[in-house]
Structures are given as structure tokens and as C-alpha cells.
């Protein structure tokens, strides 16, 4: 395992020697972000199945919250917060319908953020009521995901769930200091980690159906956006947990290990692809995986968790790739759709969670730009 890590680092070091330490132009970054955010607001997803409170929008709101904070502070533009508030109020800041499914509580992450800013109980009450039910009535099902037995989605039995739900509990713990949220977070996260994490390859399987599958090239199957979900979720957990909370160590160590591993799998074109170990079988750019990974790596550099000299070039290449996928009118392309064949991701394809990832990444790039000044 050591030798694998070493290889990765050596490769990165080499890369960073060739490419001079990159710099970001913050104004330019923000201009791309604005274009992408505004296009998304002007072109809402009206699909009934993925409504305002679904996980797809949860990821969008997380990017919008970051962007709203930035623009309000720097440009005195509170219109993005207003957009979030309108959606929140229209939906009474509710979470989704399924009591235990991670996807249905994800939207609560942003509503907790809104509560922290605006201080109205109604913003946090629904997600807190839901979380209270869950921690007081623990889900007891197996982690063996089986779509014909939907109750197997009542725990975090697929890796995307680690982006959707855990930060909710981390935030509620930091907010209330009630350990019941922390205990639940740690218990459930560890269970999923034990089940889905491949210690040899240092990545997460999407779910148990992939344990024994192999790609065309014989490699194990590790999904790009899936590991992006996990990395992004870890960045959220680390931002949420109190700084002196001892449980941080587990999440931080995992974050560094996974970030290091995934950084080494970036393709020469700057993207991460749908399959991390067989990019040739899945050659399409994939901006949702790339967005979440760039977000997490940039966050890690900003926080001093990841070595700047090593990771900054990766981040820079990733950001450039993301920007390349943006249309003239601000539409982010190459987003792998939900459940579609990952081989066929096209420039035309967009999805709200891709935009969320783009904005989350952009905000961390802005921080990098500042620190480089």
C-alpha cells in the first residue's frame, strides 16, 4: 500500500515540476461561476421525479449557498440567497418524503446553512425533526443494497449516500452539541466505510453489486462521480464538525487517503471519467465527477490537508477542464445523467448536481486565488 501511495506522489511531484505553480485569476473564476449559476437559475429542471427537495437539487443548493455567500460578501449581491430563500419558503424548508433514505435528507444541509445565517427556526425545524426520528428510531436493515427490496436503501448502502446524509448529522451536532447526532454519524459512516471501502485500491465501491465486477481491462469497478460524492461529502463533514471534535481524525485521515488516491487518477485531459480505473472504456469527459473532486482537492489544499505543490497542478488542470465544458451561454455540459450509460456522456448533457459541484469547486478556487496573491 505504501508503494502505491509513493508512486502517486512521485508522479505528482514530476507533474508539478513541469507545470509551473499555477495561478488563478479570481475575477475570471467568478465570471465563469456567475455564468453557470445564472444559466441554471434561468433553466430550471422541471422533471417531476426530481423535485425541489430531491438529492439532485440538494447538490445544486450546496453550490449555490457557497456562491451566494461569496457574491453577497464581495459584490453586495444577495440575489442568490434570495433565490435559495424563495425555494426554501415555497417548500417550507422541508426534506424529502422517505424517512430513512439519504437522498431525502440531503437538502437539509443547505437549510441548516440558511438557519445559521437567517436564524429562523422554521428553516431548520423540518430537517431536525427528520434527523430526530432517524436517530431515535435507528434504521436496522442490512447494507446489502437490493433495489428489489427498497428498505435496503434505509441505510447508507451506496457510496453517494455519504455525500447526501452524513453532513446533515455533522452540522446538527455542531449546531446543537447533542451527541446523538454525532454518535449516529460515526456509527453509520464507519459501517458503510467497512462495507464499501476497498482498502487495497483505497476507493469506495458504488454498492455491493460491484464487489466482484471487473472493467474491460480487468480492473475493479470504481465509479468516478461515486468517489467524488464521497470526497465532497468528507469535505462537508470536515467543514461542519467542531475543530476540536476528536472524531475529526477518522474523517480527515480518510479524506487525505482518498484524495491522494483519486488525484492520481486524473486523466491527461484534466477530467476524471466515469470509471476511475478504466478511463479508456469511458473516454467521455465527466464534469460531475470532476467537479466534486476538484472541489475536495482545492478544499484540502486551502485547509493545509493536502500538499500545495503536489495537488495544485491537479486542481488547476481539473478546473480548466470544467471551464472547457461550459457553453458560451453558461450551460455546463458533459454531466453524466442519473442512471444512464456512462459511456455516452455528451457536451449537451447537463444536470443540476453538476452545476452544484462546479460552484462548490469554483468557490474553493477563489480561496486558492486569494491565498496565492
Binding site for its own copies (CB under 8 A): 91-92, 94, 97-99, 104, 118-122, 124-126, 128-130, 132-133, 136-137, 140-141, 151, 174-179, 241-247
CB of 4 to its own copies, least distance (A): 31
Left, alpha or beta for 132 (phi > 0: left; psi -120 to 50: alpha)?
Answer: alpha
Considering beta carbons, is residue 136 or 200 the nearer one to its own copies? 136
Query: Which residue in the block uniquely carries the three cell numbers 433495489?
Result: 147
Considering beta carbons, is residue 174 or 235 the nearer one to its own copies? 174
Residue 103 falls in the annotated catalytic set: no
Considering beta carbons, is residue 170 or 301 the nearer one to its own copies? 170
What cell does 130 get?
A: 427528520
Angle subtended by helix axes 287-302 and 352-372, to nearest 10: 30
Q: Which of 272, 297, 270, 313 is nearest to 364 (CA)?
A: 297
CB of 227 to its own copies, least distance (A): 27
Q: What is the DSSP letter of 122?
A: H
CB of 8 to its own copies, least distance (A): 31
Q: Which of 103, 160, 207, 278 is catalytic?
A: 160
Count other Cβ atoms within 10 Å, centred on residue 45. 18
Considering beta carbons, is residue 154 or 192 the nearer one to its own copies? 154
CB of 346 to its own copies, least distance (A): 32
E strand or H helix at 320: helix 308-324
E strand or H helix at 235: helix 224-240
Query: Which residue in the block uniquely carries the three cell numbers 463533514?
Result: 237
CB of 126 to its own copies, least distance (A): 6
Considering beta carbons, is residue 58 or 258 the nearer one to its own copies? 58
What cell does 327 get?
A: 457553453
In Å, how far are 8, 9, 200 from 3, measured between CA atoms?
9, 10, 12
Q: Give the ranges where 51-140 is alpha helix by DSSP (H).
A: 55-75, 79-90, 108-118, 121-136
CA separation for the pair 69, 79 (Å, rounded): 10
> Which positions are catalytic?
160
Amino acid at each position: 500500500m505504501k508503494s502505491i501511495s509513493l508512486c502517486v506522489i512521485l508522479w505528482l511531484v514530476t507533474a508539478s515540476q513541469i507545470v509551473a505553480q499555477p495561478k488563478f485569476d479570481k475575477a475570471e473564476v467568478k465570471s465563469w461561476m456567475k455564468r453557470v449559476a445564472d444559466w441554471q437559475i434561468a433553466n430550471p429542471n422541471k422533471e417531476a421525479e426530481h423535485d425541489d427537495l430531491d438529492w439532485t437539487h440538494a447538490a445544486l443548493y450546496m453550490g449555490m449557498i457557497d456562491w451566494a455567500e461569496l457574491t453577497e460578501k464581495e459584490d453586495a449581491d444577495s440575489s442568490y440567497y434570495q433565490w435559495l430563500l424563495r425555494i426554501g419558503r415555497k417548500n417550507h424548508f422541508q426534506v424529502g418524503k422517505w424517512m430513512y433514505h439519504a437522498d431525502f435528507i440531503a437538502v437539509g444541509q443547505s437549510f441548516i446553512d440558511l438557519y445559521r445565517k437567517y436564524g429562523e427556526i422554521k428553516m431548520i425545524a423540518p430537517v431536525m425533526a427528520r434527523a430526530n426520528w432517524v436517530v431515535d428510531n435507528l434504521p436496522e436493515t442490512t447494507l446489502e443494497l437490493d433495489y428489489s427490496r427498497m428498505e435496503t436503501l434505509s441505510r447508507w448502502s451506496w457510496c453517494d449516500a455519504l455525500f447526501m446524509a452524513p453532513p446533515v448529522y455533522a452540522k446538527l451536532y455542531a449546531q446543537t452539541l447533542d451527541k446523538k447526532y454525532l454518535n449516529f454519524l460515526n456509527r453509520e459512516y464507519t459501517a458503510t466505510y467497512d462495507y464499501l471501502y476497498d482498502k487495497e485500491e483505497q476507493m469506495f465501491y458504488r454498492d455491493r453489486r460491484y464487489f466482484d465486477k471487473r472493467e474491460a481491462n480487468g480492473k475493479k469497478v470504481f465509479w468516478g462521480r461515486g468517489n467524488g460524492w464521497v470526497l465532497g461529502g468528507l469535505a462537508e463533514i470536515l467543514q461542519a464538525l467542531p475543530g476540536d471534535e476528536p472524531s475529526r481524525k477518522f474523517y480527515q485521515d480518510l479524506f487525505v487517503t482518498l484524495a491522494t488516491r483519486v488525484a492520481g487518477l486524473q486523466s491527461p485531459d484534466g477530467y476524471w471519467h466515469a470509471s476511475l480505473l478504466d478511463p479508456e472504456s469511458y473516454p467521455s469527459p465527466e464534469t460531475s465527477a470532476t467537479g466534486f473532486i476538484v472541489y475536495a482537492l482545492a478544499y484540502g489544499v486551502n485547509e493545509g490537508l493536502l500538499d500545495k505543490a503536489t495537488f495544485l497542478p491537479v486542481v488547476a488542470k481539473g478546473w480548466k477542464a470544467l471551464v472547457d465544458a461550459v457553453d458560451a451561454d453558461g450551460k455546463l455540459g458533459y454531466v453524466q445523467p442519473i442512471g444512464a450509460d456512462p459511456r455516452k456522456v455528451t457536451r449537451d448533457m447537463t444536470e443540476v448536481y453538476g452545476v452544484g459541484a462546479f460552484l462548490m469547486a469554483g468557490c474553493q478556487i477563489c480561496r486558492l486565488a486569494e491565498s496565492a496573491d
